[in-house]
Structure 1
Amino acid sequence: MSENGAAGAGEAAKNPQLQMKILGQFVRDLSFENVMAQKGISGEVQPDVNVQVNLDAKKRPAENQYEVATKLTISSKAKDGGEQLFLLELDYAGIFMITGVSDDQLHPFLLIECPRMMFPFLRRIVSDVTRDGGYPPLNLENIDFLQIYRSELARRQAAQGAEAPAKGDA
């Protein structure tokens, strides 16, 4: 029995258990431009909403701490004439303490799991700001952070592939 216990402890030392703690979340920047109200446009308008998502992560000076930011740009235009209704820009960040993640898995973990943990709070802010701006609350659909990560990797690989022949021709 003690042999299995010792083997289990050795295995745990090789593969430390994943731990993630959210130490804090905050709005770094928020801008809501209510273009429709500024221009004095009124009446029923069918909106066409476009959401852009950018992610960023960086190491903090403290050990095992990282700052992860989700930047949203939400543009709403009228379906009929294309007039701008509103523009919402939100830079929302979280500070995470993460242990037990291997170096090769840390980058995807920071850009997939951390934004996923912050998303409900970010969604609430967007809903409140659009409601308080005079529009129906905008309830964002779930964002597939894994797909965003994979798309960005594919884009970077394609960009590197396009640069390689250009360097070889010179």
Structure 2
Amino acid sequence: MTDTPAAPTEQPQLKFSVLNQFVRDMSFENIAARKQQNGEYTPDVQVQVGLDAKKRDADNMYEVATKLNIVSKIKDTDDTIFVLEIDYVGLFRIEGVPNDQLQPFLLIECPRQTFPFLRRIVSDVTRDGGFPPLNLDNIDFLQIFRQEVARRQATAQPNGAQA
């Protein structure tokens, strides 16, 4: 009798491609120009990030939206300088990701792929809007995902009971 090693369990091979990406919705409001604010000031920029993912009708096709709400205010007076809202969507074909890992993959890895393009649009829009280009810092999509999971778990606890 010969010992033959058992065949290793084959993991499905990950197939991941960006099919398309586009701005679904965008709004830029130059409030400083409307109020005729001029002069030197120190801006305070706040960036809120929202993520959304959903399955498309086609097999293995997913849509992942990164939504940014950017508000720049004058640090000393809290007057708003500009507001930029953008909904940026990537369409992805994804195969070989186990179902229990699909949601984290969609909300972490997919936005990482589209973020450099979104960053460029934000930079161009703020520059074209009459301000120095806003170069966004990297966004930690893993941390955003973990915060959302923790928030959902906290709201699922009846009467705010601690686990």
TM-score (normalizing by structure 1): 0.89
Alignment-derived partner of residue 67 in structure 1: 63
Structure 1: state its 5+ residue gaps: 166-170
RMSD: 1.5
* Residue matched to 1:16: 12
Alpha-carbon distance in 1 for matches of 2:160, 2:45: 38
| Displacement of 1:162 | 3.9
2:127 aligned with 1:131, yes or no? yes
Separation in 1, partners of 2:160, 2:138: 37
Structure-2 separation of matches of 1:64 and 1:163: 39
C-alpha separation in 2, matches of 1:98 and 1:91? 21
Aligned letter for 2:7?
Answer: A
Q: CA deviation at 1:158?
A: 0.5
Please name the residue that 1:113 is paired with. Answer: 109
Residue 27 (structure 1) aligned with residue 42 (structure 2) = no
Matched, 1:80 2:71: no
Partner of 2:7: 7
CA distance in structure 2 between the partners assigned to 1:98 and 1:82 by the alignment: 44
Q: Which residue of 2 aligns with 1:168?
A: none
User: Is the CA contact (8 Å cut-off) linking 2:154 and 2:160 kept in structure 1?
Assistant: no
Q: State the secondary structure of the residue aligned to 1:7.
A: coil
State the distance in 2 between where 1:80 and 1:71 align: 28
Higher helix share: 1
Residues of 2 paired with 1:148 and 1:133: CA distance? 29
Deviations 1:144-166 (A, max 9, x none): 0000000000011001114577x
Query: Partners of 1:82 and 1:107 in 2: how far apart?
Result: 38
Counterpart code for 1:76: S
Q: Which runs of 5+ in 2 are unaligned?
A: none
| DSSP-derived class of the 1:123 partner | helix
Instruction: Using the aligned pairs only, state the percent identity.
Output: 65
User: Alignment partner of 1:143: what SS?
Assistant: coil
Q: Do structure 1's residue 100 and structure 2's residue 84 form an aligned pair?
A: no
Partner Cα distance (2:160, 2:85) in 1: 36
Distance 1:17 1:81, change over 3 A: same
How many residues matched?
158
CA offsets 1:17-64 (integer angstroms, 9 cap, x no match)? 111100000000010000000111111121000000000000000000
TM superposition shift of 1:7: 2.9
